[in-house]
């Protein structure tokens, strides 16, 4: 494990992005064995991933962003960056929801919207991990929190891969094609991770903006996708998962930070 901490932030982000993508592919591969997933397992995993991402947005992204010196007052920089990240996701959702007629031409609208929404939301998630590694700057403790953030997203990616593959399979698509489409939604995290780490490393002035933007985007994703999805399944399991995920990330972040 020690060799990992000697790598550049870009290489660290690239390697962890492969793990994140692999979890999406692993979740999607379940379509070869069944047309339906275990709802309780999906609910618990989605809730835990939501809790981890909420906690990471504050402890691993917003708090470090506030420590940077910027030309604007730091509270203004962080607030604007957070708003831009949230606005990116909100505008993306609006653009997708207004594309009804186009989706009707290619088949089931709900499946197409779900696929594009997941793919689009994976971009800021990947960037968040890349930025977190760039922010670590060789600090082993900070790098560990960046790893944990990536693991949290990877945990989310497993049920996410299932949630994309199973509706496609249920609509009559072959298992292989359902798998290909689903794993493809997670592949965008690889270039997003690398790009986030590269930009934040090269242009240090972008670091607080990138951290805050990633936090806003992640919170918006959690609120628009993960929370409604897991609470629609089982409120008790969802609540337990969110609390557990948040506490896990918080304890490890504080202990390692």
Better-predicted residue by pLDDT, 1 or 198: 198
Residue 18 lies in domain: 10-24+41-256
* Confidence band, pLDDT 50/70/90 cuts, at residue 14: very high
What lies within 8 Å, CB to CB, of 203 at 6+ separation is: none
The count of domains in the chain is 1
Q: Is residue 167 part of a domain?
A: yes
Inside any domain, residue 125: yes
* Confidence at 175, pLDDT banded by 50, 70, 90: confident
Give the model's pLDDT for residue 107.
47
137 pLDDT more than 90: no
Six-digit token string for 122? 């994976």
Q: Is the pLDDT of residue 228 over 90?
A: no
Separation CA 167–CA 117 (nearest Å): 14
Q: Which pLDDT score, from 0 to 100, does residue 239 have? A: 92
Per-residue pLDDT for 157 more than 70? yes
Phi and psi (nearest 5°) for 37?
A: -100, 165
Residue 80 maps to a domain: yes
Residue 58 included in any domain: yes
Q: Is residue 31 part of a domain?
A: no
Q: Which pTM value belongs to this model?
A: 0.64
pLDDT for res 141 = 62
Query: How do residues 76-134 score in pLDDT, each as one tens digit?
Result: 999 999 999 889 888 877 776 665 545 444 445 556 655 666 676 677 778 878 888 88
1 within domain boundaries: no
With respect to residue 32, please indicate whether it lies within any of the assigned structural domains. Answer: no
Q: Is residue 4 part of a domain?
A: no
């Amino acid at each position: 494990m020690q060799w990992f901490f000697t790598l550049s932030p870009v290489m660290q982000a690239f390697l962890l992005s492969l793990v994140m993508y692999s979890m999406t592919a692993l979740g999607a591969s379940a379509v070869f064995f069944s047309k339906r997933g275990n709802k309780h397992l999906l609910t618990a995993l989605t809730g835990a991933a939501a809790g981890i991402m909420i906690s990471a947005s504050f402890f691993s992204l917003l708090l470090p962003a506030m420590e940077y010196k910027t030309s604007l007052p730091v509270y203004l920089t962080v607030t604007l960056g957070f708003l831009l990240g949230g606005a990116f996701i909100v505008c993306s959702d609006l653009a997708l929801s207004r594309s009804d007629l186009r989706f009707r031409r290619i088949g089931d609208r709900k499946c197409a919207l779900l696929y594009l929404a997941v793919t689009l939301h994976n971009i800021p998630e990947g960037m968040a991990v890349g930025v977190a590694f760039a922010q670590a700057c060789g600090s082993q403790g900070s790098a560990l929190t960046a790893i944990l953030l990536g693991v949290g997203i990877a945990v989310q990616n497993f049920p996410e891969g299932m949630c994309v593959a199973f509706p496609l399979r249920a609509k009559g698509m072959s298992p292989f094609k359902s798998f290909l489409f689903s794993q493809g939604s997670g592949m965008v995290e690889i270039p997003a991770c690398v790009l986030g780490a590269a930009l934040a490393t090269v242009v240090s002035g972008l670091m607080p903006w990138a951290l805050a933007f990633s936090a806003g985007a992640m919170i918006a994703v959690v609120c628009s996708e993960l929370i409604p999805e897991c609470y629609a399944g089982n409120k008790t399991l969802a609540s337990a998962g969110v609390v557990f995920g948040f506490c896990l990330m918080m304890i490890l972040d504080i202990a390692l930070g």
